[in-house]
């Protein structure tokens, strides 16, 4: 079982974010607030479901980190200011908008 599948089962319902856009302009480095474009897949009944795109996710870094419910064990390369490796995380609550 992959980390994504495991975290989807824990979530039950939600959004599995695979990509974000606008980190260079959508993050306030002083307050930690962010509002960025995202795409991914819906989590439906604990399973990865329908692909979605053109969403916006928003929060602040402190609230997001306080809402972490679980961390996956499989890391992947994330192109962020060079490249870093990061595991998937399950965030319990975050603002999501889009249609």
pLDDT in tens, 27-54: 898 999 999 999 999 999 999 999 999 9
Residue with tokens 């962020």: 80
Q: Is residue 66 part of a domain?
A: yes
Q: Is residue 99 part of a domain?
A: no
Q: Is the model's pTM score more than 0.75?
A: yes
Cβ count within 10 A of residue 57: 21
Which of 21, 19, 9 is CA-nearest to residue 49?
9
Q: Domain total for the chain? A: 1
Residue 81 domain boundaries: 3-94
């Amino acid at each position: 079982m992959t980390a994504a599948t495991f975290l989807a089962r824990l979530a039950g319902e939600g959004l599995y974010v695979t990509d974000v856009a606008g980190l260079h302009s959508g993050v306030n480095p002083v307050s930690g607030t962010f509002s960025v474009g995202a795409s991914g897949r819906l989590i439906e009944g604990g399973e990865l479901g329908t692909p979605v795109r053109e969403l916006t996710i928003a929060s602040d870094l402190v609230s997001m980190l306080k809402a972490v419910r679980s961390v996956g064990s499989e890391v992947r390369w994330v192109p962020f200011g060079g490249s870093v490796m990061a595991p998937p995380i399950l965030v319990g609550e975050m603002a999501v908008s889009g249609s």
